């Protein structure tokens, strides 16, 4: 029996009664997938998977793909190490964002497996982009439905959070740019989500950055209202699986002097519509 315990009113559920060290039976997988679509991000505890088991679980959900800016693990190129060491002050991806929205086919989902966690802090925040869109006035919704957003891999604030990791990974740095609808319709649920993010969105297509700045700032603030978010405290062996099409995340950088190391897998998505 799979039990789902909600961790906030907006999104997020911790699933119990699931062993990910072996492939899920079809009925169990169907229930996990249903709960994921319902809650946008799901969490598992006490899953000390090796790389092969972790990859097998990811492959049940979708097609793992290589992260474009960081080299993967030896023997498992589609698993990347997300870490902050004791002497480092900047956390990888430490800003509200949707993963790799600067790609033409942004990912369907991402998952993190906690390997080492600090004695305190290092939680991750998640936010519900369905609720962000639904909270807007009908007039603003009508405007946003006509717009596309330009997303860049080199937006300054996001670039700073991964600068050291990219340099040390041995992978060639590239600039990626992609346009996506500001309002994205989820291909499986049919719900509309506000698909811009402060980590990668630089302007609206056909608008200058200066013209876009005020409206984007307003949207970014709407997206991260506390009532649209949840917070997850990691333990070794914890797994988070989130839907990049309708959720954002932000790792909290509050554990200076301690080590945090995670393994991440990204799952291929489709063209945003």
Active site residues: 97, 99, 249, 264
Q: What's the pLDDT tens digit per position in 79-116? A: 999 999 999 988 887 899 999 999 999 999 999 999 99
pLDDT at res. 162: 47
pLDDT at res. 45: 98
Q: What is the dihedral of CA 109, 227, 261, 267, to 10 degrees?
A: 0
Q: Please give the residue range of the domain that contains residue 211.
A: 3-267
Q: How many CB atoms lie within 10 A of CB 141?
A: 15
Q: Can you tell me the distance from the alpha carbon of 215 to that of 149, in angstroms, rounded to the nearest whole number?
A: 12
**Residue 272 belongs to some domain of the structure:** no
Grouping H, G, I as helix, E, B as strand and the rest as coil, residue 29 is helix
Distances (CA, A) of 198 to 112, 136, 194: 21, 18, 12
Q: What's the pLDDT tens digit per position in 128-164? A: 999 999 999 999 999 999 999 999 998 866 555 445 5
Q: Are strands 41-44 and 13-16 parallel, antiparallel or unpaired?
A: parallel
**Residue 273 belongs to some domain of the structure:** no
Q: Can you tell me the distance from the alpha carbon of 195 to that of 101, in angstroms, rounded to the nearest whole number?
A: 9
Tokens representing 108 are 């369907």
pLDDT at res. 68: 87
CB 259 within 8 A of CB 84: yes
Tokens representing 160 are 């700073």
pLDDT at res. 94: 86
pLDDT at res. 93: 79
Q: Domain count of the chain? A: 1
Short-list 234, 266, 247, CA closest to 111: 266
Q: What is the mean pLDDT of the chain?
A: 94
Q: Can you tell me the distance from the alpha carbon of 46 to that of 20, in angstroms, rounded to the nearest whole number?
A: 10
Distances (CA, A) of 63 to 59, 192, 195, 272: 6, 24, 22, 17
What are the residue ranges in the chain where pLDDT is below 70?
156-173
**Residue 176 belongs to some domain of the structure:** yes
* CB-based burial label for 199 (10 Å; 0-12, 13-18, 19+): buried
pLDDT at res. 62: 97
Grouping H, G, I as helix, E, B as strand and the rest as coil, residue 16 is strand
pLDDT at res. 171: 53
pLDDT at res. 156: 62
**CATH code where residue 194 lies:** 3.60.130.10
**Residue 213 belongs to some domain of the structure:** yes
Q: Is the pTM of this model over 0.85?
A: yes
Q: Can you tell me the distance from the alpha carbon of 14 to that of 46, in angstroms, rounded to the nearest whole number?
A: 12
Distances (CA, A) of 186 to 76, 194, 232, 242: 30, 11, 24, 14
**Residue 77 belongs to some domain of the structure:** yes
């Amino acid at each position: 029996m799979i039990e789902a315990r909600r961790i906030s009113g907006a999104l997020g559920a911790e699933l119990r009664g699931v062993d990910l060290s072996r492939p899920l039976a079809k009925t169990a997988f169907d229930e996990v997938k249903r709960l994921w679509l319902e809650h946008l991000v799901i969490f598992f505890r006490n899953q000390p998977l090796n790389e092969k088991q972790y990859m097998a679980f990811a492959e049940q959900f979708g097609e793992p793909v290589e992260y474009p800016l960081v080299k993967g693990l030896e023997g498992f190129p589609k698993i990347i190490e997300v870490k902050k060491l004791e002497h480092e002050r900047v956390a990888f991806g430490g800003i509200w964002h949707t993963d790799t929205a600067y790609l033409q086919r942004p990912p369907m989902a991402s998952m993190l497996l906690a390997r080492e966690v600090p004695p305190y802090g290092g939680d991750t925040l998640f936010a519900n982009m369905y609720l962000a869109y639904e909270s807007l006035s009908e007039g603003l919704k009508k405007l946003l439905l006509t717009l596309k957003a330009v997303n860049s891999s080199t937006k300054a604030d996001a670039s700073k959070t991964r600068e050291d990791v990219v340099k040390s990974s041995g992978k060639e740095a590239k600039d990626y740019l992609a346009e996506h609808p500001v309002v994205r319709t989820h291909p499986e649920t049919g719900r509309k989500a506000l698909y811009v993010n402060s980590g990668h969105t630089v302007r609206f297509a056909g608008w200058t950055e200066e013209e876009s700045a005020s409206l984007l700032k307003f949207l970014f603030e709407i997206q991260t209202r506390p009532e649209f978010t949840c917070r997850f405290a990691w333990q070794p062996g914890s797994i988070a699986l989130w839907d990049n099409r309708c959720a954002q995340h932000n790792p909290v950088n509050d554990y200076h002097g301690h080590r945090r190391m995670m393994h991440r897998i990204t799952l291929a998505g489709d063209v945003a519509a």
